[in-house]
Copies of this chain bind each other. A is one copy, B any other.
Amino acid sequence: MVDILHRVGMKSSIDEVYKALATREGAAAWWASDTKGESKVGGRLKFTFTHEGRELGGFDMKVLELQPAKRVLWQVVEGPAEWVGTKISFDLKQEGDFCLVLFKHEGWKEPVEFMHHCSTKWAVFLMSLKSLVENGRGAPSPNDVKIDNDVD
């Protein structure tokens, strides 16, 4: 098992960051503009990614935990084979003016090249989350920074 790990400090209240992670509207503002479903424990969220009007694919997540101002946990139930069954968590803590987001994408079977890509891409999207809570404007798909030569 290998994991993708990140940590980003954001000059924001923990409540603002939690809202951006725990609501459909929040996730749509930093990860995938096309986010459908219901963000409640046991509910399912469907994130679809596009590029220049073309659908690239996406991920369906089951919401496993929603702990206000503390933690959000999703499990991938549909998407690329490497993602299905993996878990994605966001743990929050306040330190002074900053909210620290500790991110884990756990359960990868092998450190395939696609995992390297996803690791960088998660960082890019966490910087989008930071921008959203600090400046009111994220860069969710399809306006995300592209780091690949074909499909992102």
Shortest CB-to-CB span from A146 to chain B, Å, is 8
Q: How many copies does the complex hold?
A: 2
10 A–B contacts, CB within 8 A, in A order: A4-B119, A5-B119, A9-B146, A95-B149, A100-B149, A102-B116, A119-B119, A119-B123, A123-B124, A127-B147
Contact code string A99-138 (vs B, CB < 8 Å = 1, else 0): 0101100000001010111011001101100100000000
Inter-chain contact B149/A9, CB cutoff 8 Å:
yes
Taking Cβ atoms with an 8 Å cutoff, the residues of A that contact B are 2-9, 95-98, 100, 102-103, 111, 113, 115-117, 119-120, 123-124, 126-127, 130, 145-149
- Of the residues B5, B9, B95, B97, contact of A147 by C-beta under 8 Å: B9
Q: Chain B nearest CB: distance from A119 CB in Å? A: 5
Question: How many whole Å from A17's CB to the nearest CB in chain B?
Answer: 13
Query: Shortest distance in angstroms between A80's beta carbon and chain B's nearest beta carbon?
Result: 15
